Structure 1
Amino acid sequence: MLAEVRALSTTMPSDEFFLARQPILGRDQHLVAYELLFRAAGEHDDARLTDGAAATAAVISHASQLGLEQVVGNKLAFVNVDEDVLMADYVRFLPPNKVILEILETVKPTEPLLARVAELKRLGFKFALDDVVHHSEEVDKLLDLVDVVKVDLQGVTPDVLGHLAISLRKSGKKLLAEKVETQQEFRLCMELGFDFFQGYYFARPVILSGRKITPSEMVILYLLELINSDADDAMIETAVKRDPLISLNLLRLVNGRAAGPDSRIESVAEALTQLGRKQLRRWLQILMFAAPGSKVELNSPLLQLATTRGKLLELMSLQVRPGDVIGAERAFTAGIMSLADALFSMPMADILDNVELAADVRAALLARTGDLGAMLNLVERLEKADTGRQFTGALRKLDLTSKQVREIELAAFNWVRELVHDAA
């Protein structure tokens, strides 16, 4: 079995692949899983999606290096599998309680394959059927054995989608809409009874004409501006106290970290001292993503994506410019602010009119220029597994390797996972 893993993983050297992690949401718009995609790197100018066998072999053979817990936290991982993987013994190295094996559309439902899927189900594995665009005889043969059916929205027209959803729902299986790119597509799939959604529709800005920044949002932006301009402690404390909800959230935050009831902090001044300016800035940036007056919901996909971008850019910046802590802070700001237009439903330029940011951060957010812009562009491509020639060229300009990028990703995923855990 180990020899089998080694043989397959030679197609993807341990330091020469990229990891893409794409969120899967439930009907409540909370994260339930991630699909993991692996792309070859190294000498290939056009990094390509490896075949299913090599991709899954990489997951297994580098399990100690990647660690599914570190990559997906307490969520499930959807992992692509083809016939070679399904029939191989090494697939059993994957933890059945953490993965859903996604049967690629190229797999033919032969008798031996159906028997193998049934065997793996008895061992506790769950399955999804990938890229379904019509209800065929081959789909029917696999339907009884799978738990989730993934429908490719880019492969069907809206009128066909309705008939397909009705047909598949009769099977009692969970339906997952993939490649959902707009809010309109999401709403249609909700109406059709889909259970899960994969795509970046939640991160696409829907600009609302005449939308104004609310008073609470203005307070947060004003506080960020005070910190960025190095205002004195008294000014920051006064600004926090003007908004009771921000004061309450601040006290919740610091007391959540406190050792016990004897160390409870009751004053805003004490809370600000304990937190420090660096952490205050980050907390305010995260607080932007909470509805006014509510607790920060770290299971929000938009917030998780924004905080992950922030940490990715911070760590990339430190890799590109070691020791430049101030530059790394600006990089974090560029990452987390990059989704402000989706958050506020306003053009980015209008949002930036309300907050003072460093010139390189502003250039990255508005035009993806400069080193921060290049890093942000890299991260956006990585999210979509778009790691072709332009991606690898940008990596070379920043003098980053695939191994460094993957290590940065894992560190960022772990940081966000701990952030979610601490806030629970």
Structure 2
Amino acid sequence: MSTPAATSTVTSVQGPFAVTMIARQAIVNAQQAVIGHELFNRARSSGEHTAASDVILVFATLSHTGTEDLLGNKLIFINCTHESLSGGHLELLNPEQIVLEIPPLGHTAVDEVHARLPILSALRERGFRLAFNHTVLESAYAPWLSLADYIKLDLSILAPDQLAVLVRYATRNSKAQLIAEKVETAQQYDLASQQGIGLFQGYWFARPTLMETRVLTPAQTSIIELINKVRQQASTEEIEEVLKKDPSLAFNLLRLINSAGLGLRHEITSLRQAVLLLGLKKLFRWAALLLTATRASGTPSPLAHTAVVRGRLMELLAQQILTQEDADQAFVTGIFSLLDVMLGMPMASAVRLLNLPTRVTSALLRHEGSLGDLLTLAEACEMGDDSAFDRAAHNLHLTSQQINLAHLQALAWADQLD
């Protein structure tokens, strides 16, 4: 076998992660069945709750690369600031699954309550459910009360007689479900139940579980280029080329599309399809959030460079012997072939985070099929494995000259991107 003088090598460098600590606490019904979870961002500096921390919480939840889905199929209660309620990050969420917890205002000026009403009404019309604390039962907040799907009653600050009065008022004047929160003893649970409250949250049922969410971070330059392309309303092909430069960027996009929070679970056969499926508006929102929520990283890591070379090599070879759709899938296989190392988890777990075609999954997990042979060939080119090279080349009916030329082209293409 005649291999190119310039070769790429696999390193053990791990891709950079943005890490956010998220606490999740169950909300249960009278039968103690979990109906939802409240999420808390535990990574906020000095515990400050800001619009920026809301963005990071939502993005980390959608993009989390762990083996456990933070969203699952239950309701998710998310604390919001009023400043974040008109933020673009909410457009990336599936409203049917989300309950937005609306805080009271710092003062109860009637004009300010009315001023916030259109935003709250618009969120409800979009399908989000809204939760308020007991202050929504005060006369100053009367315009908001009809929007309440849930009202939380804090047992740590409400005396039994206050609780009784608030429950009666809420039952008569709203259709909201009542949640007793900060339930820490059997006595508090009995008191809330006797008052007719049907949902509960607190240490008596479950303490918050702390989960480390990891988001694989692309190079900041790649994110900025993507944002610029979308703002310029560039063609799908041009946007696809940006995604091809950075495996972390491509992975994050597919992870978003496969997130339960977005509600768009589709099999993706190419990055072009992913762009079309999400649409330019949501793609811009997502890229802007990615830039906000992840730390800056410089040039792509050697690992990412290797994955890009693999993807391009496999694409070029597939174009010679397979269909264009196969070539697209070959590229996807190549750039995701190092996900296990980049994410620090078994490949089977990494693949489950995405909804890839069966052929791509089989190639990644077992090197099966023509895509598997192409992946074996790409790895053989990196490692100088003559026997694997000859075996894969024979299976694909490719000559050494075809493969070496394509490898040189792939290396040059990846170097140009860097």
> TM (normalized to structure 2)?
0.42
